[in-house]
Amino acid sequence: MRIARTSVILRAGKPRRAWLSCGVGAARKALYVTGEESVEQVALRAQRLGLVNAPVSLLAEVQLETIVATIGAEAPEVVVIDSIQTAYTEALTSAPGSVAQVRECAAQLTRLAKQRDIVVILVGHVTKDGAIAGPKSLEHLVDTVLTFEGESHSEHRILRSLKNRFGATGEVAMFEMHDSGLLEVLDPSRVLLALRRGGSPGSVVAASVHGSRPLLVEVQALVHPTSFPSPRRMGVGLDSNRVTLLVAVLDRFAGLALGESDLFLNVVGGLTVREPALDLAVAAALLSACRGLPVPEGAAFFGEVGLLGEVRPVSRAEARLREVAALGFERAFVPRLDGVQVPAGLRTETVEDVDSLAAALFGKEKSGENLRIGA
C-alpha cells in the first residue's frame, strides 16, 4: 500500500456529523463511525499517517438510528463501529454501554449487515482479563471474533482469531508499530527467533501451528532450587495444567527430579500456545535447564507427550517441517512420522518416549539415575 502525500478534507453536515476523505487507491468504500473521538482527533491521526484520497467517510455519532440512516444514505461496503459500547438506541431507556443497549445495538447492526450484504466491524472493549466486555451474547451474534494484543514495551502487535464461521480459528497475524502506522510482519517466525541466544541451556525452538499458519517459537525454561516449602510452578504463554502434567511424566519416566525446585517456563514474544504439540519442546527445555546443557544447535521440536511418557503424532506435521526447513534448521526431533514428506536438507530424529528424548539430547542411558540440577 503506497501513500504519496497527505490530504485531509473535512465537510460539515448535520450536528455531530462530518466526513473525512483520506484514501488508498481503489479500496472499498468504507464508513468509520467514531463514538469515542472527535472528527478533529481522527483527522490529525490521518494526517500523521499520511492517508490521502481514501473512500472513507467519518461519522461522529453514537445514536443507532442516525448511524443506520447514514449507512442507508452512504451505501458503504465496509462499516466500522468504534465502539459498540458507546452506541445506543432510543428504543431503550438504559444508558449506553449497558448490557441491554450493547446487545440490541449489536443485533440491529448484524441484521443490517446481512440484509445489505456489507461488512460490519464492531470494535469492543475488553476486561482486564482480556475477555470481551459486555454481554456474552455479543460473541454469538457475530461471525468472527478478533483480538488485537500487544505489550506497551513491545513494538509488535498480534491479531488473533478466536471465532471464525468462515475459516479456521486460532489464526494469528503479527504487525509492527511504526510512525506511519502498523505494518504486517510477513515472516513472524524469523522475527520471534531473531534475538534467540543459541547454545543457552533451557532454550528450545518449537514448531507450532496457529490456525493454518505454522509458526516457530522459542520456549525457555528455568529450573532453580526452591527456598519455599512448596516449589513454584509458573508458565507464561502455556497451559499451566499441561506443564504440571509434563513435570510428573518427566519425573516418572525420565528421572527428572523437580520436587524441590522452582520451575519457570515462557513462550518468548508474548504468544500463547496451548496446543499439545508443544509438549516435546517443553520437555526438552526442562531437561536442558535441569542438566545445564544446551540442546543440539539447529534443532526444532514438536510432538505430544502422553501420561505414559510416549510421544504421539500431531496434526499438520508436513507444514511444521516445511517451516522448520525454511528457517534453516537442520534437525527436527519429532514423533513417528508415517507417510509424511520430509523437506530436503532436514534430518528428522524419531522420539518414542521422554526417556529416548533424554538419551538423544544428552546421551543419558535409559532408566538411569535421576537427573539433578546442574549435574
pLDDT tens-digit readout, 30-45 = 999 999 898 888 888 8
Question: Bigger pLDDT: 120 or 1?
Answer: 120
CB 301 within 8 A of CB 206: yes
CA distance 175 to 207: 20
Same CATH topology for 9-141 and 191-362? no
Tens of pLDDT, residue by residue over 221-267, are: 999 888 888 888 889 989 989 999 999 999 999 888 888 899 999 99
User: Which one-letter amino acid corresponds to residue 146?
Assistant: L
For residue 23, the tally of other CB atoms under 10 A from its CB is 18
Sequence ranges of the domains in the chain: 9-141, 143-186, 191-362
Q: What are phi and psi of 211, to 5 degrees?
A: 70, -115
Q: 3-state class of 209 per DSSP?
A: strand
DSSP 291-327: HT-PPPTTEEE--EE-TTSBEE--S-HHHHHHHHHHT
Report the alpha-carbon distance of residue 355 to residue 366 in Å, rounded: 6
Cβ atoms of 270 and 151 within 8 Å: the answer is: yes
Q: How far apart are CA 87 and CA 102, in angstroms?
A: 7
pTM exceeds 0.85 for this model: no
CATH of 191-362, one of 2.60.40.1180, 3.20.20.100, 3.30.230.10, 3.90.960.10: 3.30.230.10
CATH topology of domain 9-141: Rossmann fold (3.40.50)
Q: What are the tens digits of pLDDT across the range 70-105?
A: 999 999 999 999 989 999 999 999 999 888 999 999
Examine the pLDDT at 7 and tell me if it is beyond 50: no
* Terminal C-alpha separation, the chain: 55
